[in-house]
Each structure stands twice: as C-alpha cells, then as structure tokens.
Structure 1
Amino acid sequence: MAQIILFHHALGLTDGVRDLAEKIASGGHQVHTPDLFDGALFATPQEGIAHVGTLGGFDRIALEGMRVAAEFPSASVVAGVSMGVVPAHKAAQTVPAFRACIDISGFVPLTAFAPLWQPHTALQVHLASEDAWVKDEDLPLARSIAATDENPDAPAVLFEYESAEHLFMDSSTSGYDADLTDVVVRRIHELLA
C-alpha cells in the first residue's frame, strides 16, 4: 500500500478530483487530496489561474507542495493534475522520501526545482495528445525525456491519450472520459505495484 498526495488542478478540489482519488485508492492505497484553494472552486482554468495570482503565483503553489509533504511524512508518491503538477514536482524533486511522481494533464521541466531529477523517483506522465493546454509545450518536452526502445533509461514513462480534453479524468467536467480514466488508473496501479 502506498500513501499518495494528489494535488488538484486550477478549477480547485472538485468532486471529480476526489473521485479520481477514490479510484486510485481502490488499488489498496491511501490518497490525500489537499485543498490548495481553501474550498474555492472555479468554472474555468483561466479563473483558477487568476486566483493563483492572488495567492502569490505559481511559486507559492510550488511551496505548498513542500508544506503538504511535511504534513504527510509517510507519503511515498506525489501526483498532480494540470496545475497540481507544479507542487508535485517541487516535492518530488526536493524531498528524498518520494519514490514516484505522477503527472496528469501537465508537465514541467525536470530541472524546474532542482539541478537533476532524483534517480530513485519514478516519473509517470499522462497527457492527451490533442489537448490545447499541453500539445505545444508540455507534450514535446515530455516526449524528449520519455523512455523509448532507443533510450530505455530515460527518466519518464509517457502515456499519450487520443483526446483533446484537458481534464478528461475529472468526472465533474464536461470533458470527462470514463474509459480513458480507467486506463490512467490502471496504469497508476501498475506503477504502484
């Protein structure tokens, strides 16, 4: 059993993020879902990102990853959805206790918070290939560091999904795709096993 910290996206800690956490927990794991917005929910990612600005920006959100990691010292896995990838990476790159980091609908450079990715921390990335939020920057960057037959020792395992929906794994959004979500959860369970 793994203890996992799952950081939400810019809409806030939606029922859909809680539902995703429950699906991951169904594999016998404990999933913590900290609320970085103190209960605030937003209708669009743009509204949520504007709210991040009032909180001190993405640097402040990244620091929240460290605060939450300290609250859950038994957690060995950190995950994030979209904006939540920022605090997840901050924790994964700077706290030696994490053995895995899971990025969903977002990606940041491996050197964003430390000079090198910690070699003992597995990195699993889930991106929709036609998602306008990730296809021009995050997806090419993730592809550049993903393991392939030619480069099996690369630091990340990348899974691409045929979808244009940014939050396809959030059951509270109109873009929810139950089948793709099941695949994401299965792959997470395989990593955790």
Structure 2
Amino acid sequence: MAHIVLFHSILGLRPVEGEIAAVFEADGHTVSLPDLFGGRAADTYEAGFAQRKEVGTEAIMERAKAAVDAAPADAVLAGVSFGAALIGEFWGDRPEMKGALLYAGITEWMDPPRPGLKVSAHIAKPDPFDDEEYFADWAAQKGEADLKMHRYENCGHYFLDPSLEDYNEEAARLCLDRSRAFLKGL
C-alpha cells in the first residue's frame, strides 16, 4: 500500500480533501493531509488567493516540506490545483517516489523527467484557468515519464468538491476510480 501526501487547493484544507483521503484509506493506503494555510479556508478562488498571500510563500513551503520530509521516500505526492503545482518543488529530490496524482492542475516537470515515473493527471476540459495549448505543451514535455492524462468534460476546475459550482458527480466518481486503479498499479 502507498503512503500519499495530498496537498490541498488554493481554498485551503477543506472537507473534500478528507473525503478523498478516506477513499484511499478505505483501500488500505495511508494519507497525510498537510494544512498549508494553518487552519484557514476559503469558499471562493478569489478569497483563496488572498489568503495564500496573507499566509506567505515561506510558511507554505515550510509546511509542505515538513510533510514531504515526514513521509517515506517512496510516498506518492498528490495535489489539487495549487497543491498539484507544489509537487514540482519536491519530486526531483525523491528518486524513490512511486508516483504522482495531479488534480485540477499540473506542475513543472523535473529536469529531465524521471523515466518510468508514473503520473496520473485529472483536468477539466476546458479548464477555466489554463488553455488547451498549456496542457498539450506540458504533456509533450513528459520525456520518458509514464503519464496518463485524463480530461473531464462538462465540469468546473475543482470538479471533485461537492461544495463548489465546479462539482460534477460523474466526473468525480470516475476520477477517484481511476486514481484508485493508479494507486493499485504502483
């Protein structure tokens, strides 16, 4: 079974991340949910970006690094949108990492991308924050990494969160099923 470090979205650590973790834990995995914003959460993206600025990059990165350092060397790094982007700060220094789960966002590839690294990305199509060329360019830069890019139509950016207008029940269920299969295959 995998140990998973799941970084939350720009909205902060909210119930949905606990619900995602519960799905994985029911399969026998261990999930760490670092609270990068120190207990702060927001209901809108605009408020989330404001709270990120207030908390500050230094505090966020210290908390993220502490969570990664506390996890086993082969832990799966996972993140939602802003949290997915954080993975790029760490995966280059984790040669034993089993894989990465990226939800509603992507991250900078390590240079070069590790051959065979399993990466499962789950992105709305279209995504309101980035255009299609952005995702196509990112996928083209994967090198020898083992990327599975999943796109979900008729949903919003963070389609896993039932408290947001972005939510799409069918896409969320399919995404979690694919994620569970990904973790089982590691």
Q: Which amino acid is the alignment partner of residue 82 of structure 1? A: S
For structure 1, which runs of at least 5 residues remain unmatched after alignment? 148-152
SS at 1:101 equivalent = strand
1:124: which partner in 2? Answer: 120
How much does 1:61 deviate?
Answer: 3.8
Distance 1:160 1:83, change over 3 A: same
Partner of 1:157: 148
Please say if 1:94 is aligned against 2:109: no
1:78 matched to 2:77: yes
Do the aligned residues in 2 keep the contact of 1:142 with 1:158 (CA within 8 Å)?
Answer: no
CA distance in structure 1 between the aligned counterparts of 2:147 and 2:60, rounded to whole angstroms? 23
Deviation of the 1:11 alpha carbon:
0.7
Q: Residue 122 of structure 1 aligns to which amino acid in structure 2?
A: K
**CA distance change for structure 1 residues 45 and 75 in 2, over 3 Å: closer, same or farther?**
farther
Alignment of 1:103-122 (within 5 A): 103-111=102-110, 115-122=111-118
The match for 1:180 among 171, 178, 181 is 171
**SS state of the match for residue 95, structure 2?**
coil
Partners of 1:85 and 1:103 within 8 A in 2: yes
Segments of 5+ residues of structure 2 without an aligned counterpart are: none
Secondary structure at the counterpart of residue 102 of structure 1 = strand
Deviations 1:19-70 (A, max 9, x none): 122122222211111111111011211221222223333x764554322111
TM-score (norm 1): 0.83
Matched residues, number: 184
1:192 aligns with 183
d(CA) in 1 for partners of 2:46 and 2:8?
Answer: 15
| Residue pairs, 1:137-156, within 5 angstroms | 138-145=134-141, 153=144, 155-156=146-147
How many percent identity over aligned positions?
26
Quote the Cα distance in structure 1 between the aligned partners of 2:17 and 2:5.
12
1:127 touches 1:161 (CA, 8 Å); kept in 2? yes
Aligned to 1:150: none
Q: TM-score, normalised to structure 2's length?
A: 0.86
- 1:25 maps to 25
Q: Which moved more, 1:88-97 or 1:166-175?
A: 88-97
More displaced 10-residue stretch of structure 1: 116-125 or 96-105: 116-125
Q: Deviations over 1:147-180 (max 9, x none)?
A: 9xxxxx5542101111340111112323222221
User: Aligned partner of 1:28: which letter?
Assistant: G
